[in-house]
Amino acid sequence: MDQATALKTVPRGARPPLVAERFRFIQPTLPDLDRLLALYRPAFRSGMITNADLVASLEAAVAERLGVKHCVAVSSCTSGLMLVLRALGVTGRVIVPSFTFFATGHAVLWNALEPVFADCLADAWTIDPASAGKRIAPDVAAILGVHLYGNPCRVDELETLARRHGLKLIFDAAHAFGSLYRGRPVGGFGDAEVFSLSPTKLLVAGEGGLVTTNDQTLARRLRAGRNYGDPGDYDPELVGLNARMSEFQAALALAGLEMIDGKLARHNRIAAMYTRRLEGGAGLGFQHVSPLDRSTYKDYSVHIDAASFGMSRDEAAERLRADNIETRKYFDPPLHRQKLYAGFHRPDREPLLVTDDIARGILSLPIYESLGDDTVEKVALAIRRLEEGE
C-alpha cells in the first residue's frame, strides 16, 4: 500500500479533530449597535432615509481618507462597475483577469461588452500587465484590473499601457479598502476604482459600493447614473439604474470607518502568522505582496502544488474539514472555465496557463478580525501535518 492510500484508509475519527468545534469561515465585526443608532437616528427622524445627509457624509469622509476628489456611493460594487463602464462610454472589448470573482465579468457582460481574458502574475496573482498588453487590439477600449484579496495591481504599468493605447483603466477594488500602492491609497488610480461594502469585505454596510475618481465629469454622470440616469431635470442623460445607497447603509459604513484601521492591522497580523508558520512547506505557494505596498488581506490563500505537497487541493480541503476547518477556493473555477464566460476564451491564441495553475491549487483560509491567534495556529498546524504526511 502506498503512503497516500494508507492515509486514506485511516478511519475517520481515529484521532480527535484538531479544532474541537466547527467555527465560522467568515464573521464580520459589526459596530456597536448604540453607536450605529446614534448615527442613524437623525435620518430616521427626518424621514430622509435614502441618498441624503449620511450618504453625503460617507462620501466626504471616504474622499478625504483616500485622497481622491470624488466619491459616489452606490448600492453595490457590481452596480458601481456597471455604471462606470456605462458612464465612461466604453464600447467593444474589455481586458479583465480571469482569476477574479464573477461580478467583475458580469459588469462587462451587462453592458453588452466582451471580456478579453488576461493571465495573472505567477507571484502576485493580480492581472499580468504583459499579458494585458498582448491582448490590446483596435476594438479593445478598456482594462479592468482587480486588486486581488487586497493586493494592489501593478498600477504604474497598467497606467502606462492605458495611456499609450488610449484605453480607459478601471479597478475593481472590492477587496482593497485600505490597501496602499507605493504608499498611496488605492482609490485614486486609473479613471475610477470601485469598492464593495458587502459583509465579506472589510468595510461593511450590509450592501453597498463606493466609486472613487478624480474625473469630475465621470462623477457627475455617476450621480445621475445611480438615480436612473436623471441629472435632476427629469430628462435622463444615460440609461441609469436605481443604484442609490440608503441612509442606513451609510450609517453602517460610517460606523465601520471608525473601526477600519483595527481590522486592517488584524488581517495583516493573521496573514503574517499564516505565512510564518507555513513558509518553506513543500508544495506551498504564497501571494507576493510588494514590501512597497500594503494589502488588506481581505482574503488569505495558499497555493497547493499537488505533486510536491503530496495531495490535491481538494483532498487537502476535505482533510481540513475533518479537523473542523472550513476553507474556500477563491476563485476557482476562474472566469474562463465558467459557462457564461468559456465562449470568450481563446485557448490557442490567448492561453491562461498561470491562471489555470493558480486556480487549480488555490485554498483560502479563514481570516477575520475576531479569529483568535490560537485558531490561526491550529489551521497552520493542520496544513503542516498534511504536508508532512502525518
Ligand X SMILES: *Cc1c(COP(=O)(O)O)cnc(C)c1O
Provide the binding-site residues for ligand X, judged by CB under 6 A: 76-78, 100-101, 103-104, 146, 172, 174-175, 196, 198, 209
Q: Which amino acid is at 305?
A: D
In angstroms, what is the minimal distance from the CB of 209 to ligand X? 5
Contacts with 88 (C-beta within 8 Å, 6 or more apart), sequence order: 142, 168, 170, 191, 192, 218
Which CB atom, from 76 or from 126, has the smaller least distance to ligand X?
Answer: 76
Collapsed DSSP state (helix, strand, coil) of residue 145: strand
Collapsed DSSP state (helix, strand, coil) of residue 248: helix
Contacts with 373 (C-beta within 8 Å, 6 or more apart), sequence order: 273
Which CB atom, from 39 or from 210, has the smaller least distance to ligand X?
Answer: 210
Which CB atom, from 121 or from 380, has the smaller least distance to ligand X?
Answer: 121
Residue 389 per-residue DSSP state: T
Reply yes or no: is the peptide bond before residue 333 cis, omega within 30 of 0.
yes
CA gap 69, 210 in Å, rounded: 13
Q: List the one residue out of 310, 296, 203 whose CA is nearest residue 255.
A: 203
Which CB atom, from 79 or from 387, has the smaller least distance to ligand X?
Answer: 79
In angstroms, what is the minimal distance from the CB of 293 to ligand X? 18
Which CB atom, from 108 or from 174, has the smaller least distance to ligand X?
Answer: 174
C-alpha triplet 149, 152, 156: angle, nearest 5°: 160
In angstroms, what is the minimal distance from the CB of 344 to ligand X? 18
In angstroms, what is the minimal distance from the CB of 299 to ligand X? 9
Antiparallel, parallel or unpaired: β 180-181 and 209-213? unpaired
Residue 50 has, within 13 A of its CA and on its CB side, a CA count of 10
Cell of 387: 504536508
Task: Find cell 464580520 and name the residue.
Answer: 28
Which CB atom, from 77 or from 120, has the smaller least distance to ligand X?
Answer: 77
CA gap 381, 60 in Å, rounded: 44
In angstroms, what is the minimal distance from the CB of 76 to ligand X? 3
Which CB atom, from 19 or from 146, has the smaller least distance to ligand X?
Answer: 146
